[in-house]
Amino acid sequence: MSAFQVAFNAVVPIFLMIMLGYGVKRIGIVNDSFVNQVTKFVFRISLPMMVFSKVASIDLSHGFLISQIKLMIFCAIAILLAYFIAKLAARTFIKESVNQRGYVVGSFIQGAFRTNYLIIGYPVLLNLFGDEVVINMALITLVVIPMFNTLAIIALSPPDKHTGLKKYKEIILNIVKNPLIIAIELGFLSAAINITYPSVINSFISMTASMATPLALVAIGAFFHFDGIKETLSNTLVAISIKLLILPLIMTTAAYLVGLEPMNIILVGVLFGGPTAVSSFAMSSELGGDPVLAGNIIIISSALCVITYMTIITIWLSILGLA
């Protein structure tokens, strides 16, 4: 099977689920209330349950590998680099730093570097590598969630108004309380002490976890709307070019040059090439950013990432000899 066929088989089903969500919203089967409720259920219940179930089943008797520690350090440095690349681009391309809706620069920076890799990237990686990739994704999540949230707060704080910085304590608390972080910690604890659950509990966990990906993808499709596209088009296109093309190409090349394992190079491409995090819209609204720009970056990056994912994955599968 060619590299393109492998990438096609991994990515296109994800795209079709997103289009299903868009279609059922357009014909009135679901509405905005459905999207909000499903999103909460996925992020607070189903997705954490899925992550917990995968992590809890991992054999930790041999400890962490050097390659996994190397991956975590690489991702931490790469996220900082991605933030500064987005910040430099904002200084270069943003003509109006503040408009009537809020702080444009902050929403641009957040949209250009912050990734929603779990919802779309997770199923892609599972399709490519199976459960082998789960522990590595769990480990980088411990790095990614705190860093993305903290850097997003910094990005959304105008240089002349640092009131947003007062929210650091709240953000730290939110990170500690994040359902995914809690699920990963409990999963590692369960794996470390080798807990065996009754079959009825395993079935319940499996059923709840299995809803995460399809519900999340349908919700993303149903979230699509196109308010203010023309007004924000220039800034949106620059942000998603950085998000979907520049960052994944830079980071995967760097991962290859520093000698990360082939699977981890693909993982890095999926991490940095994913669409902008849906939660960035809420954060932009709450902290005084431009919510229209933030929303349009999310929507267009979610639609186009299917094409860029397939391209990047195909290239690296060929280079690494994995297909």
Residue 224 makes CB contacts below 8 A (sequence gap 6+) with: 21, 22, 25, 299, 302, 303
Q: What is the pLDDT of residue 74?
A: 97
Neighbouring C-beta atoms of residue 4, cutoff 10 Å:
16
Q: What pLDDT, on a 0 to 100 scale, did the predictor assign at position 166?
A: 55
Identify which has the larger pLDDT, 307 or 279. Answer: 307
Domains and CATH numbers, the chain: 3-320 (1.20.1530)
Of residues 320 and 279, which shows the higher confidence score?
Answer: 320
| pLDDT beyond 70 at 170 | no
pLDDT at 175: 66
Q: How confident is the model at residue 123 (pLDDT cuts 50, 70, 90)?
A: confident
**What is residue 2's predicted lDDT score, i.e. its pLDDT?**
63
- Which segment of 45-54, 128-137, 216-225, 270-279 scores lowest on mean pLDDT? 216-225
Question: What pLDDT is attached to residue 168?
Answer: 61
Give residue 228's pLDDT band: very low, low, confident or very high (50, 70, 90): low
Distance, in Å, from the CA atom of 217 to the CA atom of 39, rounded to the nearest integer, reads 10
The DSSP 8-state label assigned to residue 131 in this structure reads G
pLDDT at 261: 93
Q: Which residue is associated with the tokens 């949106």?
A: 236
In this prediction, residue 210 carries a pLDDT of 85
Tens digit of pLDDT for each residue in 286-322? Answer: 677 888 888 888 888 888 888 888 889 899 999 998 8
Q: Which residues contact 128 (CB under 8 A, 6 or more apart)?
A: 6, 10, 266, 313
Average pLDDT value for the chain: 83
* pLDDT above 60 (res 163): no
Confidence of residue 222 (pLDDT cuts 50, 70, 90): confident
Q: Is 18 exposed, middle or buried (0-12, 13-18, 19+ CB in 10 A)?
A: buried
Short-list 272, 275, 269, 257, CA closest to 315:
269
Mean pLDDT of 5-31: 83
pTM exceeds 0.85? no
Q: What percent of the chain has pLDDT over 90?
A: 28
Q: Please give the residue that has the higher pLDDT: either 13 or 207.
A: 207
pLDDT category, 118, cuts 50, 70, 90?
confident
> Pick from 157, 161, 158, 159: which is nearest to 171 by CA?
157
pLDDT of 17 over the 70 cut? yes
Residue 149 neighbours by CB under 8 Å, 6+ apart:
171, 174, 175
**Using DSSP, how many helices (H) and how many strands (E) does the chain show?**
16, 2
Mean pLDDT for the stretch of residues 178-188: 81
